[in-house]
């Protein structure tokens, strides 16, 4: 028959060490003894609560805790290392399986003293990025600039788009991580600017403020009900006022792929009620550019994204080329002349 109680108090390294749950403080105050590594981050706060803590002795720690718990009518508490306590837990598990040489064993309970909130692993990413950019980190990461990372940002964006278009959810999860890394990377570089530093917290704060500001129907106490069909027009008006735009097409990035750029410009003009008349055309209606532009308009009229439609057709063509290469007897894929990095 077991008696006594050994409580293993776990805490999250992503939560301020003094922020413990009510259950955690309760068991700490009623414990017969509290044991912890002298470097445990919660010790100053436990001490401030006038709770005595014994320094953990690594030799036979698990066996000693079990024996003391068996002999006590109140809990014995051990503060687990927030970064992980694998050696201790392995030793404890072994002793519990073989009886630890005791006549009885205590009840052993893991009590979470603090919990990760949603998004907590983002703090790990911030810390990892800081380590990579700091002295003793990675020389390649330390050498990067906003400008040198542009290519990677573009590549990761298109790889994310490909994952969405192919419906590969695991691939999408991976590519969103790569895209998030770019946000963290640029934010960490910006934090090092000697004149106007800003951090990922500023980036997050700005977008939170923007989301709240542009969703008064959600966050304002008197927001009231709103029809979804009215939201986009309201957002466009608000963005124009915030940014001081004088044209409906200001802010459309000229670096978009041509089909996507044409579709976006048409969308903006239509939403603003702008009737476009082009009398002085430098190209004839038979030019390739005119026909492509007309196809974009045709796709939008059908509710289609011309860029996505063309990319889907390209994927079918790619698959057909690969199938033809595979079916060709006695040969593998045809070598190209585009160079080793293509």
Taking only the tens place, the pLDDT of each residue in 187-209 is 999 999 999 999 999 999 999 99
| pLDDT score at 10 | 95
DSSP per-residue string spanning 80-131: --TT--HHHHHHHHHHHHHTTT-SS--EEEEEESS-PPTTTHHHHHHHHHHH
CATH topology for the 5-112 domain: Cobalt-precorrin-4 Transmethylase; domain 1 (3.40.1010)
**Ramachandran region, residue 210 (left: φ > 0; alpha: ψ -120 to 50; beta: rest):** alpha
| pLDDT score at 274 | 81
- Answer yes or no: are the C-beta atoms of 11 and 42 closer than 8 Å: yes
- Per-residue model confidence as pLDDT tens digits over 287-326: 888 888 889 999 999 999 998 898 888 889 988 988 998 8
User: First CA to last CA across the chain, in angstroms?
Assistant: 70
Nearest residue to 114 via CA among 19, 25, 196: 19
Q: For the whole model, what pTM was predicted?
A: 0.67
How much of the chain is in helix, strand and coil states, percent to nearest 5?
A: 55, 5, 40
Q: Would you kindly state where each structural domain of the chain is located, as residue ranges? A: 5-112, 121-213, 258-327
| pLDDT score at 235 | 66
Burial class of residue 171 in the structure, from the number of CB atoms within 10 Å of its CB (0-12 exposed, 13-18 middle, 19+ buried)? middle
- Per-residue model confidence as pLDDT tens digits over 252-265: 777 778 888 888 88
| pLDDT score at 150 | 92
CATH code for 121-213? 1.10.287.1080
- The stretches in the chain having pLDDT less than 70 are 1-2, 100, 222-246, 279-285, 330-342
| pLDDT score at 78 | 95
* Measured distance CA(66)–CA(131) in Å, rounded: 39
At residue 13, the 3 state secondary structure works out as coil
* Measured distance CA(25)–CA(5) in Å, rounded: 16
* Measured distance CA(15)–CA(240) in Å, rounded: 40
| pLDDT score at 342 | 42
Tokens 């470097």 sit on residue: 39
At residue 140, the 3 state secondary structure works out as helix
* Measured distance CA(196)–CA(323) in Å, rounded: 54
């Amino acid at each position: 028959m077991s008696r006594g109680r050994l409580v293993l108090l776990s805490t999250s390294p992503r939560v301020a060490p003094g922020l413990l749950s009510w259950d955690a403080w309760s068991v700490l105050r009623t414990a017969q003894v509290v044991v912890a590594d002298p470097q445990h981050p919660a010790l100053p706060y436990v001490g401030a609560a006038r709770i005595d803590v014994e320094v953990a002795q690594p030799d036979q720690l698990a066996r000693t805790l079990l024996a003391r718990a068996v002999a006590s009518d109140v809990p014995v508490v051990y503060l687990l290392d927030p970064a992980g306590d694998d050696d201790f837990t392995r030793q404890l598990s072994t002793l519990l399986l073989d009886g630890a040489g005791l006549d009885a064993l205590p009840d052993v309970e893991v009590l979470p003293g603090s919990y990760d909130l949603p998004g907590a692993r983002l703090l790990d990413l911030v810390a990892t990025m800081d380590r990579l950019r700091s002295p003793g980190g990675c020389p390649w990461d330390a050498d990067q600039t906003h400008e040198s990372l542009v290519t990677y940002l573009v590549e990761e964006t298109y790889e994310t788009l490909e994952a969405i278009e192919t419906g590969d959810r695991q691939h999408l999860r991976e590519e969103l991580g790569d895209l998030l890394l770019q946000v963290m990377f640029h934010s960490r570089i910006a934090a090092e600017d000697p004149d106007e530093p800003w951090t990922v917290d500023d980036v997050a704060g700005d977008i939170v403020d923007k989301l709240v500001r542009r969703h008064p129907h959600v966050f304002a106490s008197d927001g009231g009900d709103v029809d979804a069909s009215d939201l986009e027009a309201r957002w466009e008006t608000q963005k124009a006022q915030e940014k001081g735009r004088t044209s409906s097409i200001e802010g459309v990035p000229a670096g978009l792929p041509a089909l996507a750029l044409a579709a976006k410009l048409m969308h903006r003009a239509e939403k603003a009620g702008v009737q476009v008349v082009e009398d002085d055309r430098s190209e004839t209606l038979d030019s390739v550019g005119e026909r492509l532009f007309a196809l974009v308009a045709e796709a939008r009229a059908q509710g289609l994204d011309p860029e996505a439609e063309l990319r889907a057709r390209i994927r079918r063509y790619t698959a057909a080329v690969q199938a033809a290469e595979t079916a060709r007897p006695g040969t593998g894929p045809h070598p190209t002349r585009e160079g080793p990095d293509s």
